């Protein structure tokens, strides 16, 4: 039942939900507008979806979630995120309600409450999961309509542009991180590998004689789920790929592997496998953000490790690498006709690797006063040091 109440700034529409709680639906400047909205709210609340079969109407969301989970296929990390949203937000509010009693107004009120304590992007993710559950219920003929349909969460449609680094900036960050992480940062910048792919990389998949790195179909990525690290498949089938690497990186990786005997190419300072949060806090954030207390200026404030992929993509665009070669290198799949009729040739791959080698040589050449300004930090710890002289790096 909906009604209106006079307020100092106009009229608000109040609504009593099936569980007996009272919520504010909206506020309006005129009584006519408020009455109109109250009538619509009443209609939305009392027009319940009907199903052809009586029995499924009594199925609760908790029961339906268990049925849905048995047949829904996602990766372990995604399911862990689903389980967190279910346990913390969705099931405490709607778990014991029959599916056909979950109303649009109830969902909107719940979303409004979540918005008081969670970021808009988090609220959108939680709502998306509930909507997926109810869409599946509708497809299974337990509902005729998903009450989450077209509900907005207030998330801005504009996404801020992600930062990216020039080769010189990427090398400056690499020279600032913990010494055990330096080659990993350089490798990420010059291959575009994902975090899980690079931290899961093992010796058998570094084919340095062929100047390639292989992302394996079965163990090509390191996954962290509920605190446990395990090797498993990469993010998507398109991520199973072979990545050509330039001569300088072959030399750096060969020297790096000669310096330890761990099966994993990159490990933490204690010799164990990398955890994203520890690496970000201990190594990456101080390197990218700087430290004003130690008079160390920032390189790119707020940049994430994943933004090295953005940087790698940007470099390929600047070097006019064909889009199909860019997609294959990053583990993406082109859609539609482009994906069917476009192919990567050896010529494209050689051109790409040559361009990366040229970028490294430019990044490791001391900047001159006539060179275009590059916003790197002018601090001894931020200087892009020339790598050890090797035939491959020259």
pLDDT tens, 250-278?
Answer: 999 999 999 999 999 999 888 899 999 99
Q: What pLDDT does residue 248 have?
A: 98
CATH, range 167-393: 1.10.443.10
The secondary structure of residue 161, as a DSSP letter, is P
Q: How far apart are CA 268 and CA 180, in angstroms?
A: 7
Handedness of CA 355, 356, 357, 360 (dihedral sign): positive
Closest CA to 312 of 198, 158, 177, 175: 198
Instruction: Report residue 47's pLDDT band, with 50, 70 and 90 as the boundaries.
Output: low
Q: CA-CA distance, 53 to 67, in Å (whole number)?
A: 17
Using only C-alpha atoms, the chain has a radius of gyration, in whole angstroms, of: 27
Q: Which residues are paired to 243 by β-bridges?
A: 213
Residue 306 has pLDDT above 50, yes or no: yes
> Tokens in use for 264?
């994993």
- Three-class SS state of 184: helix
pLDDT for residue 379 = 34
Environment class of residue 391 by beta-carbon count within 10 Å: exposed (0-12), middle (13-18) or buried (19+)? exposed
Reported confidence tier of residue 53, pLDDT bands at 50, 70, 90: very low
The mean pLDDT value for 232-246 works out to 95
Percent helix, percent strand, percent coil in the chain, to nearest 5: 50, 10, 35
pLDDT score recorded for residue 378: 32
Average pLDDT value for the chain:
85
Under the banding of pLDDT at 50, 70 and 90, the label for residue 17 is: confident
149-178 pLDDT, tens digit per residue, is 888 776 554 567 889 999 999 999 999 999
Which CATH number fits the domain 54-159, given the four candidates 3.30.465.10, 1.10.150.130, 3.30.2130.10, 3.40.50.2300?
1.10.150.130
Return the closest-CA partner of residue 2 out of 28, 19, 26, 30.
26
At residue 286, what are phi and psi to the nearest 5 degrees?
Answer: -60, -35
Q: Which residues pair with residue 53 across a beta bridge?
A: none
Between 372 and 100, the higher pLDDT residue: 100
Q: Residue 18 carries which DSSP code?
A: T
Q: Give the mean pLDDT of 206-229.
A: 93
Rounded percentage of the chain residues whose pLDDT exceeds 90: 57
């Amino acid at each position: 039942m909906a009604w209106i109440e006079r307020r100092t700034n106009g009229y608000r529409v109040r609504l009593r939900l099936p569980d007996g709680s009272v919520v504010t639906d909206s506020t309006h400047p005129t009584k006519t507008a408020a009455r109109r909205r109250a009538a619509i709210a009443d209609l939305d609340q009392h027009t319940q979806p009907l199903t052809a079969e009586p029995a499924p109407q009594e199925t609760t969301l908790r029961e339906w979630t268990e049925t849905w989970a048995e047949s829904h296929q996602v990766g372990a990390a995604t399911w862990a995120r689903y389980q967190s949203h279910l346990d913390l937000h969705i099931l405490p509010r709607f778990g014991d309600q029959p599916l056909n009693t979950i109303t649009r107004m109830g969902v909107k009120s719940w979303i409004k409450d979540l918005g008081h304590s969670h970021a808009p992007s988090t609220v959108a993710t939680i709502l998306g999961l509930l909507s997926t559950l109810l869409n599946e219920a509708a497809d299974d003929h337990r509902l005729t309509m998903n009450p989450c349909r077209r509900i907005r969460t207030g998330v801005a449609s504009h996404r801020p542009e992600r930062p990216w680094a020039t080769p010189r900036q990427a090398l400056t960050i690499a020279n600032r991180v913990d010494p055990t992480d330096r080659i990993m940062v350089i490798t990420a910048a010059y291959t575009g590998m994902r975090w899980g792919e690079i931290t899961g990389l093992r010796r058998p998949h570094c084919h340095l004689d062929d100047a390639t790195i292989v992302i394996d179909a079965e163990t090509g990525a390191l996954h962290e789920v509920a605190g446990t690290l395990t090797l498993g498949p990469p993010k998507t089938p398109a991520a199973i790929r072979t990545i050509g690497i330039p001569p300088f990186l072959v030399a750096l990786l060969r020297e790096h592997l000669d310096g330890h005997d761990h099966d994993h190419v990159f490990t933490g300072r204690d010799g164990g496998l990398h955890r994203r949060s520890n690496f970000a806090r201990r190594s990456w954030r101080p390197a990218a953000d700087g430290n004003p207390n130690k008079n160390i200026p920032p390189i790119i404030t707020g940049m994430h490790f994943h933004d090295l992929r953005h940087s790698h993509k940007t470099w390929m665009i600047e070097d006019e690498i064909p889009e199909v070669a860019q997609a294959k290198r990053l583990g993406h799949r082109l859609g539609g006709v482009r994906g069917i009729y476009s192919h990567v040739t050896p010529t494209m791959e050689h051109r790409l690797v040559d361009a990366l080698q040229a970028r490294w040589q430019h990044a490791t050449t001391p900047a001159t006063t006539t060179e275009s300004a590059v916003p790197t930090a002018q601090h001894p710890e931020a200087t892009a040091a020339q790598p050890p002289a090797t035939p491959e790096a020259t």
